[in-house]
Amino acid sequence: MVCMFSTAAGRFRALALAEAVSWAGLLVGMFFKYVVVHNEIGVKVFGPIHGVVFIGYVLVALMVREELRWDRRTTFLALLASIPPLATVIFERWVSRRPQPASD
């Protein structure tokens, strides 16, 4: 059985999913903080988690770009996808279905 983390694409996929999940957790925490109970616990838990995962996503995107043969535009889109909630999953699905450029 092949581990998801054994390939550059697998590492990127895992971090893209984790970034989206941490974003969702932070959004739920903010909803509870500002709308439901006015309690900060959700933000205090998911804020740091999202911060660490966000940095990990950016670093992994920059580390795998050459191995996955991303051009500057694709790399920029990968980094841009880290900003809106859940966009990392949309970007990962798009980039994984794209035809790979020919090797030099």
Q: What are phi and psi of 2, to 5 degrees?
A: -90, 130
**pLDDT tens, residue by residue, 29-77:** 888 888 888 888 888 888 999 999 999 999 999 999 999 999 999 999 9
Prediction pTM value: 0.84
pLDDT at 103 over 60: no
Of all residues in the chain, the percent with pLDDT exceeding 70 is 90
pLDDT on residue 41: 82
Residue 8 belongs to what H/E stretch?
A: helix 8-31
Q: What is the 3-state secondary structure (H, E, C) of 14-33?
A: HHHHHHHHHHHHHHHHHHHH
Q: What is the pLDDT of residue 58?
A: 97
- Ranking 6-10, 42-46, 98-102 by mean pLDDT, the lowest is 98-102
Report how far apart, in Å, the C-alpha atoms of 68 and of each of 54, 57, 103 are.
Answer: 20, 15, 11
